[in-house]
């Protein structure tokens, strides 16, 4: 398994697992701002909805299907601009690179030590959310 493949799987895991943080940290408008026809007064609190960004069919083909290949183009790793598991702007999760490295090392060790088998193609899973307070997680099948 290559580093690119491990990264693809890691990106897809963080895309579908928005239960870690369903929303970004709060941001505040410095002045009255109009965006997409909506006007936000000065000092409005804005939070990006990560679930919406990661599951929007405008940005992701079949967003509820686990598909690490969506992060690969011409054998190179790519990132969709809608992919933001660690938030946005200057206040995004400060240790995002460290979190990606930990995820890479953990998954690499799993691949090295555990035997994986392809599941039954007739088995289905959903990433439709179960809402629990402010976090989300995949629903039971």
Q: Is the dihedral of CA 55, 61, 65, 68 positive or negative?
A: negative
Give the residue from 21, 136, 135 showing the smallest Cα distance to 87. 21
Phi, psi of 77 (to 5 degrees): -70, 130
**Does residue 93 lie within any of the structural domains?**
yes
**Does residue 80 lie within any of the structural domains?**
yes
**Does residue 121 lie within any of the structural domains?**
no
**Does residue 29 lie within any of the structural domains?**
no
**Does residue 35 lie within any of the structural domains?**
no
Position 1 scores a pLDDT of 66
**Does residue 86 lie within any of the structural domains?**
yes
Position 39 scores a pLDDT of 93
Residue 11 belongs to what domain range?
A: 3-24+45-115+126-138
As a whole number of angstroms, the distance between CA 26 and CA 28 comes to 7
CB 106 within 8 A of CB 100: no
C-alpha distances out from residue 102 to 34, 41, 63, 82, Å: 39, 40, 25, 22
CB 32 within 8 A of CB 44: no
**Does residue 34 lie within any of the structural domains?**
no
- Below-50 pLDDT ranges, the chain: none
**Does residue 36 lie within any of the structural domains?**
no
As a whole number of angstroms, the distance between CA 46 and CA 19 comes to 19
pTM above 0.85, yes or no: no
Give the residue from 89, 83, 84, 85 showing the smallest Cα distance to 29. 89
pLDDT in tens, 67-76: 999 998 888 8
Domain count, the chain: 1
Position 2 scores a pLDDT of 75
């Amino acid at each position: 398994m290559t580093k690119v493949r491990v990264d693809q799987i890691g990106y897809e895991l963080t895309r579908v697992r928005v239960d870690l943080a369903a929303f970004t940290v709060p941001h505040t408008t410095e002045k009255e701002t109009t965006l997409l026809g909506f006007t936000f007064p000065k000092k409005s609190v804005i939070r990006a909805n990560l679930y919406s960004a990661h599951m929007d069919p405008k940005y992701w083909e079949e967003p509820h299907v686990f598909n690490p290949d969506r992060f690969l183009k011409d054998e190179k790793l790519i990132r969709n601009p809608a992919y933001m598991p660690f938030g946005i702007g200057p206040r995004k999760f400060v240790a995002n690179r460290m979190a990606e490295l930990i995820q890479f090392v953990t998954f690499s060790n799993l691949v090295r030590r555990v035997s994986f088998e392809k599941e039954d193609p007739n088995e289905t899973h959903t990433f439709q959310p179960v809402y629990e307070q402010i976090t989300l997680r995949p629903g039971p099948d």
